[in-house]
Chain A
Amino acid sequence: MRKYLVKRLFQIVLTLFIYLTITFIILQAQPGDITNVYVLNPKIPPEVRERLREQLGLDKPLFFQYLQYLQNMATGNLGISFSQYPRPVWEIIKERLPRTVLLFLVAYLIYFFFGYQMGKLIAWKRSGVLEYSSTIIGSFLYTVFTPWWALLMLWIFAFKLGWLPNGKFITVEIWRNFRDISANQVFNLILIAGGAMTAFIFLSYYLGRRLGTRRAAANVTVAAVIVSVGAIAFLIASTTVGYLAADILKHLILPVVTLSTINFAGYMLLMRNSMLETIREDYVMAARAKGLPDRVVRNRHAARNALLPIVTSFILALATVVDGGIITETLFSWPGIGLTMLNAILSEDMPLAMGALVFTGIFLLIGHLVADLLYAYLDPRIKYS
């Protein structure tokens, strides 16, 4: 296992290196250099541009620039944003990336769960009206024009029904009463609370498995979920920070729903195909012949094994999901890395755009590694050699 991990880490470093090289080539392929963007800007005199060139090392030969670029990436020195002038790019990305990660994790858990369940059911009852209609609706949702879907969600839930806020990250009217609390502090607390809750639930499941039967473990897990949800509800209801956190979470709902509905369909269809293949395996027939209840055969024998290709496809689809995230973030004005990148491009802020692109790549690579490990954990047949 350790050998495998080391090998994977080495591969990922290599991939990252190639990725950085490609981004460098893209940067070099444009005519002139980064400072040419400001040739016509009267606020930035030639001396400043000259200083910028020196700072970025653009007056040196290409190979030195490449080495400098790699060194900068390694030390996290990504330059200074043009559009948010005195702020370093690294600081902006450090602020924005967790927001994207939270959005993805929540959406991922939801659509994975529903896609898995629905796909399982559809494949089990083949050639029904259910299969036919869900395939058509699923295909439509999977290929739907995301901006249209997102705007439709906004229109229904934010405008017509007025249940949820109309995009953005926080409601300013609420937050201006609490000037000494910044959104980032509250957001970090949300991340910590979410992490703690997940760890607590997993730990209690693990302990439950060690202590007794499968049923006992399930009971302990349900109890842990109730306790942690209750604790969070109490914190939200009783404290100021909880109240503000609830405001951020409220803004999170619509992007998550949009992202989930789109990706859920893809997983459902994949799960269906994978299920159809496993249903024909001999062990499924053996389980049926033994007289096990239908539900047990479906859930324990067929669906568990059908899950593996889904995890593989998660690795393949990671880039697509990130792309979908950029669109979703833009339409809901969720200030994550995708919106930052788009705004940077529209305001010709190349250092920030390149930084965001590089970090999107790093985010993807880490996701890739996690999915790999998950896959190895799920399928004991995989050998780490």
Chain B
Amino acid sequence: MEAAQVRYQPLWRVRLGLMRKSLATNWELFRDSKIGPIGLAIILFFGIFGALHPLLMSTVWDAAIYDPVTGYDFPTDAQLKQGLTHPLPPSTKHLLGTDPWGRDILSQLMYSTRAEFFLGVFAAFVTVFIGTLIGAISAYYGGFTDTFFMRLADVVMLFPLLAFLIVLSAMINLNLYTLAIVIGVIGGFGGITVVLKSQALTIKVKPYIEAAKVSGGSHLHIITTHIIPNVLPLSFLYMMFNVTGAIFTEAVLSFFGLMNIQMSWGLMVEMANISGYLVGDAVTKYWWLFWPASLSISLLCTAFYLVGRGIDEIVNPRLRKR
């Protein structure tokens, strides 16, 4: 009769409760860092900004005019009378004006946001996936595996990624997917493995790993359920920094005109550049060709970096306030 009085909670509920509790403390630390929430707000803004595009295209915006790649709008009579042709300055119809080919800048900006998010997150995910796996494996097994991957990381760390991608663009067709995979894989074998390995090493010597070994856990089981979950917070931190790197790299490659891509922020700047709108007075006179796209790249990169630093305050106990 006594036993029935004790209320057994199912395991998932206990786990959920613990998770919520740790999430709450982490959120507090993240909020206290002050810079993290700013980054998160910018990311949310761009997330909504990008998600609005298909919505606007299917409701308010006419595809013939507002399509980011093939759209075209004729200047109105009033504008023609003033001697204005494309690129048109901002008006109520085109909030950020048009580019030299008569396409809406705002639409291009919104359309590109999705691609940037996809590229950044996908590349960072590949990097972190490979990095965590290799870091955990080389920490767990040690010996030759460890030496091999660490020396490899030394070489990869020395690799001038942008120079390499510039040369690579002459040989393979660099689009969003291939670029994300190339950046992700090269990043994954680089410095991130060294950092995650040293984190995994501190976990490897913990008593619960011994306990798992004694109770007959296989290598795979120990690596996947004991080591990797404990490395994940640090991996997540590096993921943020890698998103910044990937978005930046894509923008620069697009700016050099080496990407095979329909539309991106970097490409918008490049198109303004090759048609001569970034020389002298035109920088301010035709500001809508250059500033929105460049600022978007900078802001989104900064946002992910700031979030990374906010997470750093949680993950790295030495940074917490005195």
On A, residues with C-beta under 8 Å from B are 15, 18-19, 22, 26, 29-30, 126-127, 132, 135-136, 139-140, 142-148, 151-152, 155, 159, 269, 273, 276-277, 280, 316, 318-320, 322-323, 326-327, 330, 338, 341-342, 345-346, 348, 350, 353-354, 356-357, 360-361, 364-365, 368
Contact = CB atoms under 8 A, between A and B. Distances in A.
B101 interface: no
Contacts of B294: 145, 147-148
B169 A345 contact: yes
Interface in B109-163: 154-155, 157-163
B196 interface: no
Nearest to B318: A277
Interface stretch (B60-68, B75-83, B275-283): B275-283
B191 A316 contact: yes
Contact of A135 (B159, B297, B309): B309
A381 to B, nearest CB: 18
Interface stretch (B11-19, B210-218, B223-231, B300-308): B300-308
A265 B306 CA distance: 13
Contact of A148 (B160, B244, B256, B269): B269
Dominant SS at the A interface?
helix
B162 A323 contact: yes
Given A19-B155, A348-B170, A145 B298 contact: yes
Contact of A142 (B167, B257, B305, B318): B305
Contacts of A155: 280, 283-284
Contacts of B171: 26, 29-30
Interface string B286-322: 0000100011011001101110010000000011011
Contact of B305 (A139, A146, A147, A341): A139
A280 B317 CA distance: 12
A327 B158 contact: no
B164 A146 contact: no
B161 A26 contact: no
A353 B305 contact: no
Interface of B: 34-35, 38, 154-155, 157-164, 166-172, 191, 244, 248, 251-252, 255-258, 269, 278, 280-281, 283-284, 290, 294-295, 297-298, 301-302, 304-306, 309, 318-319, 321-322
Contacts of B155: 15, 18-19, 22
Contacts of A322: 160, 163
Contacts of B278: 151
A139 B255 contact: no
B160 A144 contact: no
Contacts of A354: 167
Residue among A30, A147, A269, A320 with the most chain B CB within 10 A? A147
A341 B38 contact: no
B313 to A, nearest CB: 10
Contact of A140 (B159, B258, B298, B318): B298
5 contacts: A15-B158, A136-B306, A144-B298, A159-B280, A319-B157
B310 to A, nearest CB: 11
Given A139-B306, A341-B167, 11 more contacts: A30-B171, A135-B309, A144-B298, A145-B294, A155-B284, A276-B319, A318-B158, A319-B160, A319-B161, A338-B163, A364-B158
Contacts of A338: 163
A320 B255 CA distance: 18
Contacts of A365: 158
Nearest to A127: B321
A326 B166 CA distance: 10
A109 to B, nearest CB: 21
Contacts of A323: 160-163
Contacts of A269: 309
Contacts of B256: 330, 342
Contact of B164 (A142, A159, A320, A357): A357
B158 A326 contact: no
A364 to B, nearest CB: 5
Given A139-B35, A145-B298, A353-B167, A159 B319 contact: no
A19 B162 CA distance: 15
B196 to A, nearest CB: 14
Q: Lowest 4 CB-CB distances: which A-B pairs, in order? A: A148-B294, A323-B162, A143-B301, A30-B171
B287 to A, nearest CB: 11
A345 B163 CA distance: 10
A356 B170 CA distance: 14
Contacts of B257: 346
Residue among B167, B283, B302 with the most chain A CB within 10 A? B167
Contacts of A357: 160, 163-164, 167
A147 B252 contact: yes
Contacts of B321: 126-127
Given A145-B297, A147-B255, A368 B167 contact: no
Contacts of A342: 166, 256
Contacts of A151: 278, 283, 290
Contacts of B290: 148, 151
B35 A360 contact: no
B170 A143 contact: no
B170 A350 contact: yes
Residue among B161, B163, B169, B301 with the most chain A CB within 10 A? B163
A143 B154 CA distance: 24
Given A357-B164, A365-B158, A126 B322 contact: yes
B139 to A, nearest CB: 19
Nearest to B162: A323
A327 B167 contact: no
Contacts of A159: 280-281, 283
A99 B309 CA distance: 35
B244 A327 contact: no
B59 to A, nearest CB: 32
B269 A147 contact: yes
Contacts of A350: 170
